[in-house]
Structure 1
Amino acid sequence: MPEITLPDVTLHWQEAGDPQGAPVVFAHALGTDARLWDALLPLMPGGLRLITYDLRGHGRSAVPQPPYSMGALVRDTERLLDGLGLKETVFVGLSIGGMVAQGLAVKRLDLVRGLVLSNTAAKIGTPKQWQARMAAVEAGGMAAIAPATIERWFARGNRSSPEAALWRARLEATPAAGYLGGCAAVSGTDFYTPTSGLRLPTLGIAGSEDGSTPADLVRETVDLIPGADFRLIRRSGHLPCVEQPAAYAEILTGFLDRIGHRAQA
């Protein structure tokens, strides 16, 4: 599996689609990994180079000691894209990945020509809420937060599905140190002011039953960027690319076509 070694972390990444296509980069949610996009990628059209990667502390990437800062996560991504020689990507970020997307666009607009902010916000939760979650993990491990997390991640009718069971197992297998590091990064982030200064094609995606970043919160963030579009996926929670991959692919493909990001056959 491809890896890139940075000064303080090694990141695992992979690609699908057309190696010569227009680049689309995907950043996953806290407590997941690059496999979050597995159901979506085969539904994407041709003419695209699809890049997924594991954030530090997640998946097959290295697990530095926490806490992590959002700046470190953005810097990891910046160095990954530079290392792969990528410019003018469409960057799709979900949850903490959407915060990374915002920070990357603010810092390196040369790397991002289009932004997809999925189930995310400029600010998520409060430091007190994140401290409580971190304390639960420190006391009882990842299993201590799994039931409540699945309720936030999946729509009511999908919480007993095979997908929910799979992602609960993957959540519980996430290194506690990596999860705690990510919690610290989100807790310390407020992107309302920098995100309001962005001027680039932007799409917001929300789930109608998202218990982590409700649709109104996603819309509030997307509305900070003039001209941004917003789409709601019904019967979906925090991970619509898992629950409703066909709807997600249709919305994402439409955005890519509107901004002329893929080669037409």
Structure 2
Amino acid sequence: MRIARLDDISLHWREDGDPSGRAVVFANSLGTDLRLWDQVIPLLPQNLRYVRFDKRGHGLSDCPPAPYNIGQLADDVVGLLDHLGITESVFVGLSIGGMIGQMLAARHPERVRALVLSNTAAKMGEASAWHDRIAAIEAKGIEAVADPIMERWFGTAFRTSPNLTAWRNMLTRTPVNGYLGCCHAIAQADLSNTSAQLMLPVLALAGTEDQASPPDLVRTTAEMIAGARFEQIDGVGHLPCVEDPQGFARLLTEFLEDLRYV
């Protein structure tokens, strides 16, 4: 386990692949930690440097009091990149991780060679829905909303698998302050104006059974970014890297090869 002590936060991070290779940085979804990418990393070209981390309030990173905002979470990434000596990377973000990636690319275009926006959007849902979720968790804890979240996260087939238990446990064991902090960040974020100005290669990925960020929502964000490529992964929900790691890795590898990044 590795901890990066930054100006106002300590983040847990991990590195795989070739430490001297070009960097690919992964950002997780709400309620998950860096284990989200465990099945994908071994399937990718091993001459690259793969960095993943627990955002604030998640996993083994510090958990400051809520609320957070997307700009703050993007600043955390800049601090981590500086700590690791990474000047440029391909950034892969899922859900809120994709929102962080959009903000990072808008604020620091020189640091992002390309973006993979998985199961995310420039605006994810209405603020009122997020405030309802915040209120429910404040009243009864994450356990009270865990089952509906599993339905939004995963496709029908995966929800019958015993592996569902591990992901439900990961969600419910997320620090409440960290989960709520990121809910506040999503609730107040509308990145439409800045994301529409992005000028870099983008791969947008959607799961056909995703109830958290349906394919049309992901497609809408892809269409606002000039030249973005949109792909769907069949039969999976909000976390395609869990349900179909081979399919996810294939699309990511093709994107990296098209960039001549490998």
CA distance in 2, matches of 1:97, 1:196: 18
Matched, 1:26 2:64: no
Aligned equivalent of 1:175: 175
Identify the residue that residue 153 of structure 2 maps to in structure 1. 153
CA distance in 2, matches of 1:223, 1:28: 23
Aligned to 1:207: 207
**Structure 1 residue 186 corresponds to structure 2 residue 186:** yes
Counterpart AA for 2:204:
G
CA distance in 1, matches of 2:99, 2:222: 12
CA displacement, residues 94-128 of structure 1 (integer Å, 9 cap, x when unaligned): 00000000000001111100100000000001110
Question: What is aligned with 1:135?
Answer: 135
CA distance in 2, matches of 1:248, 1:90: 15
User: Could you tell me which amino acid in structure 2 is paired with residue 144 of structure 1?
Assistant: A
Deviating more after overlay: 223-232 vs 117-126:
223-232
**Which amino acid is 2:142 matched to?**
M
Measured against aligned partners, the alpha-carbon deviations of 1:186-219 in whole angstroms (never above 9, x if no partner) come to: 0010000000000001000000000100001001
Amino acid at match of 1:72: Q
Aligned to 1:38: 38
How many positions carry a matched residue from both structures? Answer: 262
Q: TM-score normalized by structure 2?
A: 0.99
5 Å-filtered alignment, 1:44-63, equals 44-63=44-63
Indicate whether 1:247 and 2:247 are aligned. yes
Deviations 1:20-61 (A, max 9, x none): 111100000000010000011111112110000000000000
Question: Hey, what does 2:93 align to over in structure 1?
Answer: 93
8 Å Cα contact 1:163-1:242 kept in structure 2: no
Equivalent position amino acid for 1:146 in 2:
A
In 2, are the aligned partners of 1:26 and 1:93 still within 8 Å (CA)? yes
1:229-263 CA deviation, whole Å, 9 max, x = no partner? 1110001000000000000000000000001111x
Ranges in structure 2 where 5+ consecutive residues have no aligned partner: none
TM-score (norm 1): 0.98
Give the corresponding residue for 2:4: 4
Q: SS in structure 1 opposite 2:193? A: helix
User: Offset at 1:165?
Assistant: 1.4
Paired residue secondary structure (1:159): helix
Q: Do residues 260 (structure 1) and 245 (structure 2) align? A: no
Distance 1:226 1:82 in 2: 29
Amino acid at match of 1:92: V
Give the CA deviation at 1:7: 2.1
Q: CA deviation at 1:162?
A: 2.5
2:237 and 2:39 map into 1 onto residues whose CA distance is 16
SS in 1 for 2:163: helix
Secondary structure of 2:183 counterpart = helix
**RMSD after superposition:** 0.7
| Runs of 4+ with deviation above 4 angstroms | none
Larger CA deviation: 157-166 vs 174-183: 157-166
